[in-house]
Structure 1
Amino acid sequence: MTISLVRIDDRVIHGQVLTQWTRIYPCNGIIVVNDKLAVNKALGQVYKSAAPEGIKVFIFTVEKTLAKLEEAKRSAKNYFLISKSPIELSQLTENNADFGKYIVYGPSSYRKKTITIGPNQSLLKEEMDACEALHNCGIDIDFKLTPDKKGFKWSDVRKKYY
C-alpha cells in the first residue's frame, strides 16, 4: 500500500519506534536499509526479535532495497523504511527510488568527528551532505525524537553548514 513512515535512527528499532510512531503511522512491516546490518545475521536477528508480533522486519542492503521498495509499494500492507543514517536514503534517491517527501530523523548519537546540530542530534560531515542531497531532492527532513516533542527542520539549520 505505502511507506507510512521514513525514519533515520541510529538505534534502528527500539521502544519509541514501536510504541509511539506506530500509533501515528500504522505499519505491517519494517524495512531496514543498511549494508552492514544486512550481512550481520546475528545482529539482524536481534532487531527482528525486537518487533512486536504481527510486524515483520526485513533488513536489506541499499541495492536490495531498491528492488524491494517497489514491491512493498505495490503491496496491500504499510511499511516503515528505517535507516541508521541519511547516507543510505540518499543513495536510494541517487538510484531514483521514491519513498516519499518526508523523513523523520530520530536520535543520532555523538561520535568522533560529529557536529552537534540539536539535542541528541550529532552528524558527521558526510551525513550532513546526505541531508543536503535529500533536501535538494525536495524531501523535508524533520529532526524529531518522539511524535509529541517539538523538533526542527533541516531546512532551518542547513544555512549554518551550507
Structure 2
Amino acid sequence: MSISIFRCDDRLIHGQCIVRVLNDFHIKRILLVDEFTATNPVIKSVYQMAVPPTVKVEVLRSSDSYEKIKEAINNELNNLILIKNPKVAFEIFKNVNGLKKELNIGPMSSRKGTAKATYFSNLLKEEAEAIEGLYQLGVRVYFQQVTDQKEIEWSSIRDKVLQVFK
C-alpha cells in the first residue's frame, strides 16, 4: 500500500485522533519526522511506546527521512508520514519523488501570531507560506481531523488565511 496518509498534526501521536488514523488507514508503520523528537531520547521513546505493539514507529530527522520515505513508497506496509509543521512537508515534497501529492493537516494549536485556518487548525505565517508553496507544487492540501469529518480544502480558505499575514 505504501504511503497511506501524509499528515501534519502538531501534537504528533495522541489519543483519539491518532487511534482513528491508525485504524482508518490500517497503519503498520509511522515515519515520524521531527528534529526535536528525533534528538530527544525521552520524547522519542514516549512516542514509540504510545502506539499499539503492532505499529512500528521510526523517529527521524528531516535529512534522514528522505531515503526511508522513498523506501516506504514502494513497500507492502501501510505507512503514515507524520510531521508537526508544514515546512517539513514542503522540504519532503521537494526532496522525494513519487509521493502522492496530498497532505492532510489535522489539529494545529493556537499560538502567538497564528491565524485561524479552520476551527481546529491555526497557522503561523511561515506555516501558511509553506502550505501555499505545497499548493503551488500541485500538492492537494486539506484539513481534516478524522476521516468521517468533512475535508476543508486549502484552495477554499487560502485567500482568507494569507490575507491575515499581509
Instruction: Report the TM-score when normalising by structure 1.
Output: 0.93
Computed over aligned residues only, the root mean square deviation of the Cα atoms, in angstroms, reads 1.5
Structure 1 SS opposite 2:110? coil
How far did residue 68 of structure 1 move? 1.0
Q: CA deviation at 1:72?
A: 1.8
The Cα of 1:97 is off from its aligned counterpart by 4.1
Gaps of 5+ in 1: none
What's the CA shift for 1:99?
A: 2.5
Instruction: Spell out, residue by residue over 1:26-59, the C-alpha distance to the aligned partner (whole angstroms, 9 max, x if none).
Output: 1210001111111011101111100101100011
**Number of the residue aligned with 2:91:** 91
Opposite residue 124 of structure 2, the aligned amino acid is L
Q: How many residues align?
A: 162
Q: Using structure 2 for the length normalisation, give the TM-score.
A: 0.91
Gaps of 5+ in 2: none
Matched position secondary structure for 2:117: strand
Alpha-carbon separation, structure 1, partners of 2:122 and 2:143: 11
**Structure 1 position 137, deviation (Å):** 1.3
| Distance in 1 separating the partners of 2:17 and 2:59 | 16
Shift of 1:150: 2.0
Alpha-carbon separation, structure 1, partners of 2:117 and 2:77:
35
- Structure 1 range deviating more: 141-150 or 52-61: 141-150
**What is aligned with 1:5?**
5
Alignment of structure 1 residues 139-158 onto 2, 5 Å: 139-158=139-158
Residue 21 of structure 1 is matched in structure 2 by: 21
The runs of at least 4 aligned residues of structure 1 exceeding 6 Å deviation read none
2 CA distance for matches of 1:100 and 1:23? 20
Once the two structures are aligned, what percentage of the paired residues are identical? 31
Q: What residue number does 1:72 align with?
A: 72
